[in-house]
Amino acid sequence: MKITILNGNPDGGNTTFDTYLERLAGTLATTQHQTTALTLRDMDIKYCTGCWSCWVKTPGECIARDDSVDACRAVINADFVLLASPVTMGFPSAVLKKTVEKFIPLIHPYGAVVQGEAHHMARYDKYPLMGLLLEKHSDTDDADMQITADIFSRTALNFKTQLALAELTSTPADVVAETIANARPLPNWTTPLQPTAIVPDVRRYAGPPPTRLTVFNGSPRGKTGNTQIMLEQFAGGFEANAGRSHETYYLNRASNAERSRQAFAEAEHVLLGFPLYADAMPGIVKAFIETLEPFCGRENNPSIGFLVQSGFPEAIHSRYVERYLEKLSVRLGCPYSGTIVKGNGEGVRYTPPEKNRALFETLHQLGATYGQTGQFDPVLLGKLAKPERFPKWMAPVFRVMLKTKIANMMWDNSLKENGAYERRFAKPYAQ
């Protein structure tokens, strides 16, 4: 059995975690398993920028040509992949998160219907089982663990596999090794239809109407992405009444990390927006969240709300990370304004303004009502989120549609423009 361990420990001083993984790898090796261990903090892995070049220019490979090439090769040729990380701010490290995002070349841009939902087609004939190994932080609770397991179950689904293990480092390494060695695909495996964790103690904002809004754009595309367009529409509604203002900080500018952290420290009301990346926040957003740890429980923290937009049409894809964001507001001690969930967001920047009129008007109205109450109007949230799920009868219709040339026209045109159409089904890491 070929096993790949991805060590997402960002801190070389945390020798306890690294020693545990070494012991685990050694135990697997003694039972005749071929084990490859990659320490991600020592690798040059750049953040995914959402450029889609791995789908339309260099099919199956990241155009950045960083060390994610080695990670992708080790993952797709394994029988089991263990994602291992300490828990920081209720979730695995930004180092692990950005690496998982670089697995996007391992799937195909063409659409597929899985569990009645829109997903992507497989690129390879076989995908490894996936496992999750976490080291608890002092503030990690059961809700954090369930939220993380739910999200990585979705990640496994999107990568054409299953989450076969979710364990803590409090479990002896030899027990985890035995579980990995005996892991087998489950014939009727499915992910939860809804997030299963319950987030207690969510405190809604109940103060005076906000007048100053600090916006954090967590899109790796920065000013050129769909997130920026949506945030601008919301902010326009917020400022529709005199006396209100907003300022925007861009998390894709790594050199401004301290400035963004300080902006949060001085904010009265915060809106953090980002695209859904591998079923959760982008790695740059997780890195930002980690810098906020000193503010946990601080008095007079700002109220906080979120915007999550996804290329998938159904809102359900973003509900799992929404649960994490609710828990984040509790962890920070911030009053919670709500989470805006919008599916089918990838095409917004390509669509003429008149075609986006209904979306823009709703976002503008949502911003205006937020300016009056400090909370997101639930009726408008529901309007933006539709469809939550497609009805079951539509799944077979979609399957038929996906076999037509029209369904993949956008991807095919891009592939042809880049001279990559004949290589669209390439499997560069196959052995």
- Per-residue pLDDT at 126: 97
Asked if 122 and 298 count as a contact pair (C-beta separation under 8 A), the reply is no
Can you give the CATH number for the domain in which 380 is found? 3.40.50.360
Asked, for residue 80, whether it belongs to a domain, the answer is yes
Q: pLDDT by residue (tens digit) across 110-127?
A: 999 999 999 999 999 999
Q: In angstroms, rounded to a whole number, what is the distance separating the alpha carbons of residues 166 and 98?
A: 20
Question: Does the N-terminal peptide bond of residue 387 adopt cis geometry, omega within 30 degrees of 0?
Answer: yes
Total count of domains within the chain? 2
Q: Are residues 259 and 348 in the same domain?
A: yes
- Per-residue pLDDT at 354: 86
Asked, for residue 421, whether it belongs to a domain, the answer is no
- Per-residue pLDDT at 353: 83
Asked, for residue 335, whether it belongs to a domain, the answer is yes
Question: What global pTM score does this model have?
Answer: 0.96
The dihedral formed by the CA atoms of 245, 251, 252 and 255, expressed in degrees to the nearest 10: 100
Q: Are residues 140 and 236 in the same domain?
A: no
In the 8-state DSSP scheme, what is residue 280? B
- Per-residue pLDDT at 350: 81
Q: pLDDT by residue (tens digit) across 199-242?
A: 999 999 999 999 999 999 999 999 999 999 999 999 999 999 88
Q: Which of 287, 226, 279 is nearest to 252 (CA)?
A: 287
- Per-residue pLDDT at 402: 83
- Per-residue pLDDT at 159: 96
Asked, for residue 206, whether it belongs to a domain, the answer is no
Q: Are residues 168 and 216 in the same domain?
A: no
Q: Which domain holds residue 72?
A: 2-181
Rounded to 5°, the CA angle 273-313-359 comes to 60
- Per-residue pLDDT at 253: 87
Q: Are residues 275 and 341 in the same domain?
A: yes
Q: Which of 118, 108, 121 is nearest to 56 (CA)?
A: 108
- Per-residue pLDDT at 60: 97
Asked, for residue 27, whether it belongs to a domain, the answer is yes
* Regions of the chain short of the pLDDT cut 70: none
